[in-house]
Amino acid sequence: MSADAILSERDIAFVLHELLDAEGLTRYARFAEHGRETFDGALATAQRIATEQFAPHNRKADLNEPRLVDGRVEIIPEVKPALESFAEAGFFAAHADFERGGMQLPWTVAQACYAWFQAANIGTFAYGFLTVAASNLLNAFATETQKARYMQPMLEGRFFGTMALSEPQAGSSLGDIRTVAEPDGEGGYRLKGGKMWISGGDHPLSENIVHLMLARLRDAPPGVKGLSLFIVPKYRLDAAGGPGPENGVALAGLNHKMGYRGTTNTVLDIGGDGPCHGELLGEPGQGLAYMFHMMNEARTIVGMSSAMLAYAGYRHALGYARERRQGRPVGAKDPAAPPARLIEHADVRRMLLMQKAIAEGGLALSLYAARLVDVKDADPDAEARREAHLVLEILTPIVKAYLSDRALEANDAAIQCLGGYGYTRDFPVEQYWRDNRLNPIHEGTNGIQAIDLAGRKVAMEEGGALHALAARIDATARAASAWESLAPWGRALGDALARLEGTAARLVEIGRGEGAPVQLANANAFMEMAGHLTLAWMHLKAALVAADALKVGAEGAEADFYRGKLHACRYVFTVDLPKTERLAALCESADRTALDMAEDWF
């Protein structure tokens, strides 16, 4: 399969190098060994493994979801070798330390590598993503012994990881978790309870599965403060660190999902079948805090996955619209003339342009967030680290929720571009939509993200996070004013920014006056508004680069590439950004429409 069918190598290079100066990260001691050459090498390997080993079984894995046979999970045979290639190439440890066998790649570049796998086959990649996320968490909080026993095999791709938080009665509200842990008298803990929705919770793909599990110590206070995090392997480790006997994590069932069907999703019975031993990670009562430490990374990856599914759908729809002939151009008189290609119809171009704006803007925004992670972790200057951390804090819910909502819109348009064919399983776009439908739900629903943004993030550090973001957006608006062609967009961005800041202040006021329920009843509108602004900002940043490249004489296909960037920017400023006016008015009116709807009136 041609890589261009799912993603654009040119666009990844544009975002990394022209927009985000990824090479600038090599100034940091941690990345000093790197350069364009190593970044390109890693990306080339990612692209190849993704297109040669992941993409080919994307549909097969969708049509043949994992099955329970005699209590064991059966998965199509293509998944294991694909993940073995992923492991052998070192992608489980892409950003890990050299001493641990990693490549010490900036998070930004690691994410750009992962983009290929997400676009190629999100269901198989999920095992990789979950393991990387779990090993990051161990890296931050585990003891050296725990790292050697659990994290090192994960970096090598021998053990896979999970995030075992949710329970049937505790999804959005993790404070209601009931799984309990008691000292087992051997220095560890014995766990008992049940987990729901655990992705990758069981499978035959790795030697062992390491669950990072939230549970409550017997005497812990109720609510989130009583939660601790435990390392719970599927098989207890033997003396040599290899998988030993079963550890009482029983597979109670598989969930049957609409998408992401290549990834097992499990109901787990903890300690019902036999004793289940766990090791405490860090301090008791800190479980959720530790999880939140990883949340920014995990949630921005969800935004990235969404954007990559949008990208794959866009590329497919684009290829299709260039070939399929149907209808005549408006005003064509001769019914015997050959039909036009779909792409010649303005309405199809509208849908393609919308997808392009979301997919390319989404890629840029997700990698922008990833770069903040690198700055926050590796910059020697404390103030730079603090600033990056603040911007990341406020961008994270936007990247997660806004992109996952918009990416679904993009996949919807991809289906529409193909007409009836898009509705069949003979074409990949319907699967992209179904796979993508998870993204607004997991890692905190988009409803929860909106509450996080409007209720917490805009007010955090006395508005410090919002100010930090605003300063960055303002700098782009100002830069645009130097260009005659871009100045109107610069002004529009500046106006929208002022509007957002005004609305944010008003929401805080509403929270104090009308009360938090009214404030949060407007959270979704505020999220949408912040999202449109952020997307427009990314596109204007790209337009500045494009205008510059055209000015210095880009030609041919390169010139077309940059003109495409300018036009995607125009789309967002024409169609999306103006929506912020209506949304601001709605929020500022302290809208109560939903609140005032009494339950009995339904």
Ligand X SMILES: Cc1cc2nc3c(=O)[nH]c(=O)nc-3n(C[C@H](O)[C@H](O)[C@H](O)COP(=O)(O)OP(=O)(O)OC[C@H]3O[C@@H](n4cnc5c(N)ncnc54)[C@H](O)[C@@H]3O)c2cc1C
* Residues near another protein, by CB under 8 A: 2-4, 9, 33, 35, 37-38, 40-42, 44-45, 48-49, 85, 88-91, 93-94, 98, 101-105, 556-558
* CB nearer to ligand X: pick between 172 and 589: 172
Beta bridge partners of 325: 341
* CB nearer to another protein: pick between 157 and 200: 157
Least distance from ligand X to the Cβ atom of residue 188, Å: 22
Least distance from ligand X to the Cβ atom of residue 90, Å: 24
Binders in 293-332 for ligand X, by CB under 6 A: none
CB 316 within 8 A of CB 429: yes
CB 215 within 8 A of CB 231: no
* CB nearer to ligand X: pick between 422 and 440: 440
Rounded (to 5) percent helix, strand, coil in the chain? 60, 10, 25
Least distance from ligand X to the Cβ atom of residue 210, Å: 13
Least distance from ligand X to the Cβ atom of residue 300, Å: 16
Of all residues in the shown chain, the one whose CB is closest to ligand X is 171
> Phi, psi at residue 215, to the nearest 5°?
-150, 170
> Per-residue x/- mask for ligand X, residues 259 to 298, rule CB under 6 A?
-x----x---------------------------------
* CB nearer to ligand X: pick between 265 and 580: 265
CB 392 within 8 A of CB 534: no
Which contiguous run of DSSP H or E holds residue 586? helix 579-588
Q: What is the 3-state secondary structure (H, E, C) of 38-96?
A: HHHHHHHHHHHHHHHHHHHHHHHHHHCCCEEECCEEECCCCHHHHHHHHHHCCHHHCCC
CA distance 297 to 576: 27
Binders in 409-468 for ligand X, by CB under 6 A: 438, 441-442, 445, 447-448, 451
Contacted by 197, from another protein, ligand X, none: CB < 5 to 8 Å by type: ligand X
At a CB cut-off of 8 Å and minimum separation 6, what does 441 contact?
Answer: none
Least distance from another protein to the Cβ atom of residue 2, Å: 5
Contacted by 41, from another protein, ligand X, none: CB < 5 to 8 Å by type: another protein
Least distance from ligand X to the Cβ atom of residue 588, Å: 21
* CB nearer to ligand X: pick between 58 and 265: 265
Q: Is the dihedral of CA 251, 256, 258, 261 positive or negative?
A: positive
Q: How many residues bind ligand X (CB under 6 A)?
A: 20
Stretch that binds ligand X, among 18-26, 62-70, 257-265, 321-329 (CB under 6 A): 257-265
Beta bridge partners of 278: 189
* CB nearer to another protein: pick between 105 and 590: 105
Which contiguous run of DSSP H or E holds residue 164? strand 159-164
CA distance 470 to 457: 13
- Judge whether 207 counts as a catalytic residue: no
* CB nearer to another protein: pick between 97 and 283: 97
CA distance 592 to 525: 12
| DSSP structure string for 295-309 | HHHHHHHHHHHHHHH
Contacted by 513, from another protein, ligand X, none: CB < 5 to 8 Å by type: none
Least distance from another protein to the Cβ atom of residue 30, Å: 13
* CB nearer to ligand X: pick between 143 and 172: 172
Token couple for 107:
């998070």
CA distance 251 to 269: 6
Binders in 344-363 for ligand X, by CB under 6 A: none
**Binder of ligand X out of 171, 244, 285, 564 (CB under 6 A):** 171
Total count of residues recorded for the chain:
602
CB 369 within 8 A of CB 399: yes
**Binder of ligand X out of 8, 104, 166, 431 (CB under 6 A):** 166
> Phi, psi at residue 198, to the nearest 5°?
-75, 110
* CB nearer to ligand X: pick between 358 and 451: 451
CA distance 73 to 192: 23
Token couple for 421:
């064919």
Please give the sequence-ordered ranges of beta strands (E in DSSP) within 165-321, or none if there are none: 180-183, 189-199, 208-217, 227-233, 235-237, 243-246, 249-254, 265-270, 277-280
> Per-residue x/- mask for ligand X, residues 365 to 404, rule CB under 6 A?
----------------------------------------
Least distance from ligand X to the Cβ atom of residue 263, Å: 7
Contacted by 89, from another protein, ligand X, none: CB < 5 to 8 Å by type: another protein
* CB nearer to another protein: pick between 11 and 412: 11
CA distance 412 to 433: 7
CA distance 409 to 433: 9
Contacted by 103, from another protein, ligand X, none: CB < 5 to 8 Å by type: another protein
Residue among 279, 297, 393, 443 flagged as catalytic: 443
**Binder of ligand X out of 121, 199, 396, 524 (CB under 6 A):** 199
* CB nearer to another protein: pick between 44 and 148: 44
At a CB cut-off of 8 Å and minimum separation 6, what does 450 contact?
Answer: 397, 401, 523, 524, 526, 527
Contacted by 441, from ligand X, another protein, none: CB < 5 to 8 Å by type: ligand X
Contacted by 597, from ligand X, another protein, none: CB < 5 to 8 Å by type: none
Q: What's the start-to-end Cα distance of the chain, in Å? A: 51
Least distance from ligand X to the Cβ atom of residue 245, Å: 25
CA distances from 119 to 68, 116, 309, 315, 588 (A): 28, 5, 6, 10, 39
**Pick from 45, 25, 44: which is nearest to 35 by CA?**
25
Contacted by 319, from ligand X, another protein, none: CB < 5 to 8 Å by type: none
**Binder of ligand X out of 43, 94, 163, 363 (CB under 6 A):** 163
Q: Is 197 in the site for ligand X (CB under 6 A)?
A: yes
Contacted by 495, from ligand X, another protein, none: CB < 5 to 8 Å by type: none
Contacted by 442, from ligand X, another protein, none: CB < 5 to 8 Å by type: ligand X
Contacted by 38, from ligand X, another protein, none: CB < 5 to 8 Å by type: another protein
Q: Which parts of this chain interact with ligand X (CB under 6 A)?
A: 162-166, 171-172, 197-199, 257, 260, 265, 438, 441-442, 445, 447-448, 451
Residues with catalytic roles: 443
